């Protein structure tokens, strides 16, 4: 280690004759080291001492920038590309393998010129002095006085003038270097020099096991794509995946254009409709009007003594046609049959001998059997009709702002403003409230306290809600789409909760009866019926696989009708029996009232109504017109059916 040059010495005084050297006094404490003088020029380096043992390696400095990468070796030929598996998430990176042995150091480069010496660090403690070299011959010493005890060293006084230095003795051999002190902390690494040319790449070691892949980092920008390698041979086509579940049936296509309607007479200007007041409570039914006069009786024979009056038998009704009766009944005693000529509105009675016309007849209709066409309030596609609290209400899935109409008697209808032009698909009444559900729109429920003024409500989910009903204090709606949530319920008709359906079928109709909820579907595999005791928890039931479109309960029996001319019945909603319908029409709605089952159809020729007294045996009836009849209901002694005609007569009625 080179030392700094000694500070400037003053002029040396003339040396006195050295006295005899007295014993060296005990060294006083060493004074504080003065500031090092400016470094003199470095002397010629003495021979290098034997290297001391290397001190412990200090912590490695921060790595300099990475040298330029050597050229990449030529890529091997790609193997045939296997089918790519689905990428799993990248696992956590495994620990770095143990570093291989360090290669033999290359020859040491020629040392660069020594940089300017840095500022000397603080002087470390002085090491133990090595043995002093043999002193050169000393001049004859003058007698020295006995040394007094050395006082505490004061600040060094100015150096007296140094005598002329004697000729330096020959330098003794340098002592063996003491052990090298522990290396101080390594300074910050200087900038890394330019990387030397990469040596030839050694053979690649066997790949260690791949560590668990770490979490995938953010993908860096994609580098420029290299040239595409020759495509490998396509792998064999894998087996085709299992087909996904059949998609939900799309909504029915738009009805084809109806034949051109005859020209309608110019409508008179409607007077401004005054605001309708809230409907008052239905008044008590008036007493029946006086019975009309009985037709002229045939000539009565001479009265004999009256016998005791026997019980009167029930009249037998024989359905009529156009014109008076032509067949003579075989009945020769009461009860005698009746015959109704629907074309001429005449009623005939048979008296055991022949038919006679009852002239007092003014109007006659057998409930559910003889139907009269009525004018709807608008030429819309009326999807559903219901009766409640003295009012008939129908909803439509077409029209502009007019998708509700009401009637106090089922015959005279008034248009009402719907709060949104949604495809309203079903309407029902219960607990003082009207509720309707829709297939589309942002709010797929609307409610009304009177059937006239309506408010939009939020459905539990935006499904295709096809049917709504009320029973046992609960509203229930079913849908044709959704994943596991094709039922929703509400205690007030306003706030709705999603429920799990028994299957993801296209549920189109729901009803309540005898403590049970039952819904039917036009899709599914053997499970097109589901039941629930509370409207919340549903169970799939084995059913006959037809396109079931409507269900109703009445007189201890469940009845469902289908779009392919089928009927099925059940005493408990669980066990079902297939029945024969009156014709293979597309039966879309069924209802029960006043001891009679009635179903309507959107297909058929003149026979789009069928009736049954027991839900099992069905008879075709003549519809008022071959319209697209979509819904039927019973209330207050009247049957009402609604649908679409194209000419504004989308209602037909049948009275008791």
DSSP 113-131: PPPPPPPPPPPPPPPPPPP
SS3 percent helix, strand, coil of the chain, rounded to 5, is 0, 25, 75
How confident is the model over 187-205, as a mean pLDDT? Answer: 50
The CA distance from 370 to 655, in Å, is 8
Task: Tell me which residue of 149, 126, 131 sits closest to 22, measured CA to CA.
Answer: 149
Residues 586-644 pLDDT 10s = 999 999 999 999 999 999 999 999 999 999 999 999 999 999 999 999 999 999 999 99
Q: In percent, how much of the chain has pLDDT > 90?
A: 41
Q: Domains plus CATH for the chain?
A: 316-358 (no CATH), 372-655 (2.120.10.80)
How confident is the model over 388-402, as a mean pLDDT? Answer: 96
- Cis amide linkage into residue 335, ω under 30° from 0: yes
Angle (nearest 5°) at CA 358 between 353 and 362: 160
Confidence of residue 185 (pLDDT cuts 50, 70, 90): low
Q: Are 17 and 142 in contact (CB under 8 A)?
A: yes
The yes-or-no verdict on residue 135 having pLDDT over 80 is no
| Dmax (CA) of the chain | 198
Residues 465-501 pLDDT 10s = 999 999 999 999 999 999 999 999 999 999 999 999 9
User: CA quadruple 353, 357, 361, 366: dihedral positive or negative?
Assistant: positive
Residues 2-36 pLDDT 10s = 445 545 445 544 544 544 544 554 545 554 544 54
Q: Strand order in 465-471's β-sheet?
A: 465-471, 474-479, 487-490, 497-499
Task: Tell me which residue of 189, 177, 190 sits closest to 54, measured CA to CA.
Answer: 177
The CA distance from 132 to 175, in Å, is 9
Q: Are 567 and 585 in contact (CB under 8 A)?
A: no
Residues 398-457 pLDDT 10s = 999 999 999 999 999 999 999 999 999 999 999 999 999 999 998 999 999 999 999 999
- Report residue 142 as tokens: 């003058």
Task: Tell me which residue of 614, 586, 579 sits closest to 598, measured CA to CA.
Answer: 614
| 382, burial (CB in 10 Å: exposed 0-12, middle 13-18, buried 19+) | buried
Predicted local confidence at residue 307, as pLDDT = 42
The CA distance from 640 to 655, in Å, is 9
Confidence of residue 281 (pLDDT cuts 50, 70, 90): low
Confidence of residue 655 (pLDDT cuts 50, 70, 90): confident
| pTM of the complete model | 0.49
Which secondary-structure segment (H or E) carries 15? Answer: none
Predicted local confidence at residue 1, as pLDDT = 45
């Amino acid at each position: 280690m080179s030392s700094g040059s000694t500070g400037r010495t003053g002029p040396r005084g003339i040396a006195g004759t050295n006295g005899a050297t007295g014993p060296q006094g005990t060294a006083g404490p060493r004074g504080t080291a003065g500031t090092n003088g400016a470094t003199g020029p470095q002397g010629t380096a003495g021979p290098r001492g034997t290297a001391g043992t290397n001190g412990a390696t200090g912590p490695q400095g921060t790595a300099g920038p990475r040298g330029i990468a050597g050229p990449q070796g030529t890529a091997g030929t790609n193997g045939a590309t296997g089918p790519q598996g689905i990428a799993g998430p990248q696992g956590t990176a495994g620990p770095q393998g143990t570093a291989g042995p360090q290669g033999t150091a290359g020859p040491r480069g020629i040392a660069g010129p020594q940089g300017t010496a840095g500022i000397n660090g603080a002087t470390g403690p002085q090491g133990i002095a090595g043995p002093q070299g043999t002193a050169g011959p000393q001049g004859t010493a003058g007698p020295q006085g006995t040394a007094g005890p050395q006082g505490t060293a004061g600040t060094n006084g100015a150096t007296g003038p140094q005598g002329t230095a004697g000729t330096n003795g020959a330098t003794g051999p340098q002592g063996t270097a003491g052990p090298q002190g522990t290396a101080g902390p390594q300074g910050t690494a200087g900038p890394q020099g330019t990387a030397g040319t990469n040596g030839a790449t050694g053979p690649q070691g066997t790949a260690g096991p791949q560590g668990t892949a770490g979490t995938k980092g953010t993908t860096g920008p994609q580098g420029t794509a290299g040239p595409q390698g020759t495509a490998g041979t396509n792998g064999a086509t894998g087996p085709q995946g299992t087909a996904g579940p059949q998609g939900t049936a799309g909504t029915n296509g738009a009805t084809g254009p109806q034949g051109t309607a005859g020209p309608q007479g110019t409508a008179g200007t409607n007077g401004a409709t005054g605001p309708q007041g809230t409907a008052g409570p239905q008044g008590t039914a008036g007493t029946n009007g006086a019975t009309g006069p009985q037709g002229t009786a045939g000539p009565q024979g001479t009265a004999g003594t009256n016998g005791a009056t026997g019980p009167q038998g029930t009249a037998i009704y024989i359905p009529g046609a156009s014109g008076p009766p032509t067949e003579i009944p075989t009945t020769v005693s009461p009860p005698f049959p009746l015959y109704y000529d629907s074309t001429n509105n005449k009623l005939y009675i048979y008296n055991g001998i022949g038919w006679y016309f009852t002239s007092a007849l003014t109007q006659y209709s057998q409930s559910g059997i003889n139907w009269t066409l009525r004018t709807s309030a608008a030429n819309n596609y009326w999807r559903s009709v219901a009766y409640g609290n003295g009012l008939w209400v129908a909803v439509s899935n077409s029209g502009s702002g007019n998708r509700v109409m009401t009637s106090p008697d089922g015959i005279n209808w008034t248009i009402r403003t719907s709060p949104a032009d949604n495809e309203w698909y079903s309407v029902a009444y219960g607990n003082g409230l009207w509720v309707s559900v829709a297939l589309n729109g942002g709010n797929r429920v609307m409610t009304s306290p009177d059937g006239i003024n309506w408010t939009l409500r939020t459905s539990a989910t935006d499904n295709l809600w096809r049917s709504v009903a009320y029973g046992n204090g609960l509203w229930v709606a079913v849908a044709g789409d959704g994943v596991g949530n094709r039922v929703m319920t509400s205690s007030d008709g306003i706030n709705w909760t999603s429920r799990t359906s028994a299957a993801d079928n296209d549920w189109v109709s729901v009803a309540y009866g005898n403590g049970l909820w039952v819904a039917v579907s036009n899709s599914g595999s053997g499970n097109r019926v589901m039941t629930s005791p509370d409207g919340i928890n549903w169970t799939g039931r084995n059913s006959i696989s037809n396109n079931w479109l409507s269900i109703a309960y009445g007189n201890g029996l469940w009845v469902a009708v289908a779009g392919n001319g089928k009927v099925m019945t059940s005493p408990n909603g669980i066990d079902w029996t297939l029945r024969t319908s009156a014709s293979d029409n597309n039966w879309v709605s069924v209802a029960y009232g006043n001891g009679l089952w009635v179903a309507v159809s959107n297909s058929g020729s003149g026979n789009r109504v069928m009736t049954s007294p027991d839900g099992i045996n069905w008879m075709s009836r003549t519809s008022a017109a071959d319209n697209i009849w979509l819904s039927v209901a019973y209330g207050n002694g009247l049957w009402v059916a609604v649908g679409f005609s194209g000419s504004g007569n989308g209602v037909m009625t049948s009275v008791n």
